Amino acid sequence: DTSVLAGVYGPAEVKVSKEIFNKATLEVILRPKIGLPGVAEKSREQLIRNTCEAVVLGALHPRTSITTVLQVVSDAGSLLACCLNATCMALVDAGVPMRALFCGITCALDSDGTLVLDPTAKQEKEARAVLTFALDSVERKLLMSTTKGLYSDAELQQCLAAAQAASQHVFRFYRESLQRRYSKS
Amino acid sequence: TVEPLEYYRRFLKENCRPDGRELGEFRTTTVNIGSISTADGSALVKLGNTTVICGIKAEFAAPPADAPDKGYVVPNVDLPPLCSSRFRSGPPGEEAQVASQFIADVIENSQIIQKEDLCISPGKLAWVLYCDLICLDYDGNILDACTFALLAALKNVQLPEVTINEETALADVNFKKKSYLNIRTHPVATSFAVFDDTLLIVDPTGEEEHLATGTLTIVMDEEGKLCCLHKPGGSGLTGAKLQDCMSRAVTRHKEVKKLMDEVIKSMKPK
């Protein structure tokens, strides 16, 4: 039920003040469903942008800009992970050179330590801690992480392991959708 | 330097850094509490050259409609052009907004203050603590300095006693009787910079942050519980590397707690 629309524009012209001489300038704009973008959106934009910077081969397109615009269509939990997945697929669809794919996984820990992957908005609200990870496709390394709530070190490792196992499903979904897209046209 | 990255790599190969520190060593941390007399609470933290000052003002407000027994804590991180040439004057840049959001998350996640403690009269009056963190000198690791400054300033805040006068329904503030806030946990942030996907260094300076391929900030409280694991992109990390970071964060927490307790103890006789 959570859906995010992502559009990638680039490699395109970049303003002289923002250009980097040896790699592409990545920009991410996140628009919430209701209201004006605020500080929370800025923070999420930075997380997504830094994740993209780690995987996109910017050196192949110096002095250009690659802009990703995300519009939240509906939010029913696990929003940041959905944004990350949308961004990755949009970058692949745009043909932006990347060294790996990435996916977003959300984990919720409730008061008795039970792990729930991909929680709904209700589960997130009642959880003691909500952890969002971005994992890369090559070695399942942790690219980005952001957490809310209190949890212990052991629980973190447990969530990370569960997220790594779950990322397989997301990458399989990527592969299948891309196969479907390119087999028709 | 002509080739800053190569210059750094040569040092990192010998497991040390240009300023003489080990890879796991923090810069000299100094804290000065209660320096701003017009603020209800204040603290100045220096982490090497990075300087952050936190001032807390308490004001009245009506509690939120959906939580009539809670007050507010409103943090704001300001990175003025004064602290570094990379910031321009005008609306807060991205880095300041991200830092403000980070501090707000730390306050909320760690439950450093019970918002119910800030309520004076449920549904009518509550305290709102405006925490302004201003960076005076930017040399990397701003998040650690901000978290520490916030914690120290909150420990210094003294709220006057307020009673609601039944006849006039106005608040009666008694400045003579002040009480400290009830700080429940002590979150301490430890930041790392990742170099070349493998090397992790603690407490990066401004230049190291610029050359690093990724950063990681861990906020831990006394019982070893994590309030925040902030890793905004950058090179990948394995679970094992994270474990090393955790243990370093635990030792850092002890160092910081000891420092703060010493400073608070030296201030008490006032």
pLDDT score of B269: 59
Cα–Cα distance, B104 to B97 (Å, whole number): 11
Which residues of chain B are within 8 Å of residue A52 when distances are taken between CB atoms? 233
Contact A54 B242 (CB under 8 A): no
Which residues of chain A are within 8 Å of residue B227 when distances are taken between CB atoms? 149-150
pLDDT score of B237: 82
For the segment A69-73, the average pLDDT, to the nearest whole number, is 95
Contact A153 B234 (CB under 8 A): no
Contacts of B12 (CB under 8 A, 6+ apart): B23, B195, B199, B201
pLDDT at B170 over 80: no
Query: Under a CB-based contact definition with an 8 Å cutoff, are residues B202 and B25 in contact?
Result: yes
Q: Which amino acid, B105? A: D
pLDDT score of A56: 93
Tell me the two tokens of residue B129.
């603590």
pLDDT band at B248 (very low <50, low <70, confident <90, very high): confident
pLDDT at B28 over 70: yes
pLDDT score of B66: 86
For the segment A132-148, the average pLDDT, to the nearest whole number, is 90
Structural element, H or E, at residue A4: strand A3-12
Q: Which of B100, B110, B231 sits opposite A39 (nearest CB)?
A: B100
pLDDT at A25 over 60: yes
Contact A141 B101 (CB under 8 A): no
DSSP chain B: --SHHHHHHHHHHTTB-TTS-BTTPPPPEEEEES--TTSSEEEEEEETTEEEEEEEEEEEEPPPTT-TT--EEEEEEE--TTT-TT--SSS--HHHHHHHHHHHHHHHHHT-S-GGGGEEETTTEEEEEEEEEEEEE--S-HHHHHHHHHHHHHHH-EEEEEEE-TTT--EEEEEEEEEE-------EEEEEEEETTTEEEES--HHHHHH-SEEEEEEE-TTSEEEEEEB-SBS-B-HHHHHHHHHHHHHHHHHHHHHHHHHHHHHTT-
Chain A residues interacting with chain B (CB cutoff of 8 angstroms) = 39-40, 42-43, 45-54, 131, 134, 136, 139, 141-153, 156-157, 160-161
Q: Which of B224, B230, B235 sits opposite A146 (nearest CB)?
A: B230
Q: Which of A43, A136, A145 sits opposite B229 (nearest CB)?
A: A145
pLDDT at A104 over 70: yes
- pLDDT-above-90 percentage for chain A: 68
Contact B213 A54 (CB under 8 A): yes
State the alpha helices, DSSP H only, in A37-152.
39-55, 79-94, 121-126
Contact A42 B101 (CB under 8 A): yes
pLDDT band at A185 (very low <50, low <70, confident <90, very high): low
- pLDDT for B175-209, tens place per residue? 887 888 888 888 999 999 988 777 788 899 998 88
Q: Which of A141, A150, A161 sits opposite B110 (nearest CB)?
A: A150
ipTM of the complex: 0.89
What are the two backbone dihedrals, phi and then psi, of residue B70, each rounded to the nearest 5 degrees?
A: -120, 150
Contact B214 A50 (CB under 8 A): yes
Contact B246 A51 (CB under 8 A): no
The predicted model scores a pTM of 0.91
